[in-house]
Structure 1
């Protein structure tokens, strides 16, 4: 169970690093605007918020990766950190879809791997 939990937690973290790059550094690129469904004019207005939000995603990824790194030597602390990171990723996806039902696809993309990571992290306890 632990190997599956680690793979899923790392995958969730890497996805959120990718989202960080999109939101914080590639926000105004046409392909990124299409991904997020944002017009060029709206992207300019939303850029400061996206930049900040990208860093939130990076920090969640870091917490998750530190937790994964600790799983072998400090299982309780590692599990707690990995759950804090992936659980927050999952919670953000739930908030996204409950706020705007049209965001089901984005929430599923953002939240499925963290959900699976949370399940397998809990199973390995």
Structure 2
């Protein structure tokens, strides 16, 4: 259970790194505008906000990856704590997205489901050990 939970946490981290790239690096590109449903003008006006939001996503991914590295190095208590805080925050962010705009249900689920499954598997695995 713990290994599967860490794999799902890593998938969640990869999703959040890709969101970082879209929001902080490619925000004004045609691809990002198509994905987020913005015009070139809207992308220009919101670029600073998107840059900031993208970095929030990157920081969540870094936290999860750092936790996975700590678990692999044998520092399991702090490692699992970091993974659970990072994945829990990812789930919370996806929940806020879906509650605030039902039309964003698909991206919210992409953002939140792997980390949610990670949390469940890690908690079960820790309780069983």
TM-score range, shorter chain: over 0.9
CA RMSD between the two structures: 0.9
Q: Deviations over 1:47-84 (max 9, x none)?
A: 00000111000100000001111113111111110011
Paired with 2:11 and 2:64, the residues of 1 have a C-alpha distance of: 10
User: In the comparison of the two structures, how many residue pairs are matched?
Assistant: 125
| TM-score between both structures, scaled by the size of structure 1 | 0.96
Partner secondary structure for residue 113 of structure 1: helix
Structure-to-structure mapping, 1:113-124, within 5 angstroms:
113-124=114-125
1:101 paired to 2:102: yes
Structure-to-structure mapping, 1:1-16, within 5 angstroms:
1-16=1-16
- Which sections of structure 1, spanning at least 5 residues, go unmatched? none
Q: Deviations over 1:16-72 (max 9, x none)?
A: 111111100000111111111111111111100000111000100000001111113
Cross-structure match for 1:49: 49
- Could you list the runs of 4 or more consecutive aligned residues of structure 1 that deviate by over 6 angstroms after TM superposition? none
Structure-to-structure mapping, 1:1-125, within 5 angstroms:
1-72=1-72, 73-125=74-126
- Which sections of structure 2, spanning at least 5 residues, go unmatched? none
Q: Deviations over 1:69-121 (max 9, x none)?
A: 11131111111100111110110000011111111111111111111111112
